[in-house]
Amino acid sequence: MTDADYMDQALHEAEDALARGDWPVGSVLVRDGVVLATGQNRQNTESDVTWHAEFEALRRATREHGAAMLAGATVYSTMEPCPMCAGAMKLAGIARLVLGARHATLRRTDLGTYSIETFCRMAGYDLALTTGVASASARSSAAAGAKIPFAHPSASVATCRSDAQGDCTPGIRRAE
């Protein structure tokens, strides 16, 4: 399976969350080509502000496979993980994030100028970051006018912001 395939699975999780009345965010946790768990935002239906998609996937994977299985895994998320989820990913040893929509792109203001790169610099989190992955479902949802967070279909696979010399921002390393 490819990054786009896993992002497609995360998008289906987001669609389920939206249909249920929750925020349209989905997450898939993968290690060595095996899906350890999926997650959906359930903040509204569970009346729990901490019930984010990434958190649910981390919890489920830990319960089903043990905490050690999370180290080195990849999280696919339809929306940029918040600071709480990013902290949990760091503690779990998540090595890579494949990211759909950015908070800034969605014009979210509730987290100020937050970005995953900012969190990684602040927390000393060595996270490989891949952005711009658009699945076939994301493209068709966009064409149909669905309001589901997704990577822009014309985006290329980018890995991280870099300075003029091409070096990655501290705390983020280029994904391969």
Sign of the dihedral defined by the CA atoms of residues 105, 110, 23, 128, in that order: positive
pLDDT at 143 (0 to 100) = 38
**Buried residues in 97-121 as b, exposed as e (16+ CB within 10 A):** bbbbbbbeeeeeeeeeebbbbbbbe
Phi and psi at 37, nearest 5°, equal -170, 160
Q: Say what the pLDDT of residue 109 is.
A: 80
Using an 8 Å Cβ cutoff, are 138 and 148 in contact? yes
pLDDT of residue 122: 95
Q: What is the pLDDT of residue 133?
A: 82
Averaged over successive runs of 10 residues, the pLDDT of the chain (176 residues) comes to: 94 95 96 98 96 97 97 96 96 96 81 91 95 61 42 34 36 45
Measured in degrees and rounded to the nearest 5, phi and psi for residue 34 equal -110, 130
Distance from C-alpha of 104 to C-alpha of 164, rounded to nearest angstrom: 22
Q: What pLDDT shows up at residue 137?
A: 52
Q: Which amino acid is at 68?
A: A
Sheet holding 96-101, edge to edge: 34-40, 26-31, 74-79, 96-101, 127-131, 172-174
What pLDDT score does 160 carry? 39
- Residues annotated as catalytic are 54
- For residue 106, the model assigns a pLDDT of 78
In the DSSP assignment, the letter for residue 68 is: G
